[in-house]
Amino acid sequence: MQPSHEARMKLITTTEELAEFCALAHAAPYVTIDTEFLRERTYYSKLCLLQMALPGEEDTESGPAVLVDPLAEGLSLDPFYALLRDESTVKVLHAARQDLEIFYIEGGTLPRPLFDTQIAAMVCGFGDQIGYETLVRKLSKGSIDKSSRFTDWSARPLSEAQLRYALADVTHLRVIYEKLAKRLAATGREAWVAEELATLNDPETYVTRPEDAWRRVKTRNDSGRFLAILRELAGFREDYAQSRNLPRNRVFKDDAMIELAGLKPKSIEDLGRTRLLLREARRGDIAQGILDAVKRGLACPPDALPEPPHARGNIQVNPALADLLRVLLKAKSDETDVAARLIASSADLDALAAGLRDVPALKGWRAIVFGDDAVRLCEGKLGLVVRGDKIKLMAM
């Protein structure tokens, strides 16, 4: 996208300018939003640029669009956060989760109402987690110069190429939103998207609690004692990283944590014998934190030892039934033109094939599209037959 007028490249650096644009946005039916941020050197994302665009008229590139520099001295994002709370203006983003995390952590605010074009595209037949560039090509008939994607967005001044790239993220998004919204209205699937957006608009989605951090660590060791130590180590790392705004891996990496949980070090000398622990973690506050965490894990009473987070991995899955469920899912995905991955996960299918019923695929719109028939298939009340290249359902 090549803006043809300097106004379309406007870079806002004062609170007053931001408030003026947000006043226009409050009166608009929707505003498209995107961000550029850095997270490589910090625990929390550092917001480096905010882009917004309002609806155009006949020319889809004619609506006001601005770039906001959140690093500009004295600029407050309060007018923007007030806009996020204005329920008369739809906030349109693509793959919004990371953007929303920034808004919630920095501004304590989540946008309502929200429209995520990636989720909407999955409901409208564009496949699993479709990329923004693909939607631009298919719906906006445009293209994006991706050369600035991995630049340092915290460096100033920003180049003209960076500004053009950032602005294209929200100007093309207007066309994408309008076309997807029309498709959803025509198919009556707005409620399906609304169900998915409920998770994105839940503050709990963006709260990371140190005591739960161990559940994200992949390990095959199901020993309760091992997991107790792992839980304490992961909790210490999360708390340490949050309090100092450091990436988790700068404290110690997952493989080092798993090694420590197995070795159970009790002294600084023991830490010196680890292979994977960073040198900086073998002394000072981190070293002491590790030793204290191991001590707490070893002292955990037997009745308080954690259970494996992947307990369902031990369920007895009927493999033939799981295969049939996958065939049914493929048929339902083709029939409804909704991404199979959005309808049901592999874990859902295995759980169903093991006789479990408390799975996401049996709730809300998924039950209508797939879940109800999946249960009938599991209970022998539904059969699958092949007719040509199509899978048909047959009552049993």
> Mind telling me the catalytic residues?
34, 36, 99, 165, 169
Q: Using DSSP, state whether 245 is helix, strand or coil.
A: coil
C-alpha to C-alpha distance for 189 and 339, rounded to whole angstroms:
14
Quick one: CA dihedral 122, 127, 132, 134, positive or negative? negative
Residue for token digits 């066309």?
175
- Strand order across the beta sheet in which 46-53 lies: 11-12, 65-68, 46-53, 30-38, 90-93, 114-116
Q: Which of 262, 258, 236 is nearest to 248 (CA)?
A: 236
Given CA atoms 93, 155, 40, 110 in this order, what sign does their dihedral have?
negative
Residue 222 burial (10 A CB sphere; 0-12, 13-18, 19+): middle
Compute how many other C-beta atoms are within 10 angstroms of the C-beta atom of residue 313.
12
- Minimal CA–CA distance to 173: which of 201, 135, 119? 135
Distance CA 152, CA 41 (A): 12
DSSP sequence for 123-161: HTT--TT--HHHHIIIII-----GGGTTS-TTSSSPPHH
Residue 231 has which token pair?
């839980």
Tell me how far apart the alpha carbons of residues 198 and 194 are, in angstroms, rounded to a whole number.
6
Tokens of 198: 């409920």
Kind and range of the H or E element at 271?
helix 268-271
Residues in Cβ contact with 66 at an 8 Å cutoff, skipping those fewer than 6 apart: 10, 11, 12, 21, 51, 52, 53
| CA separation, residue 129 to residues 36, 267, 284, 333 (Å) | 20, 47, 43, 14
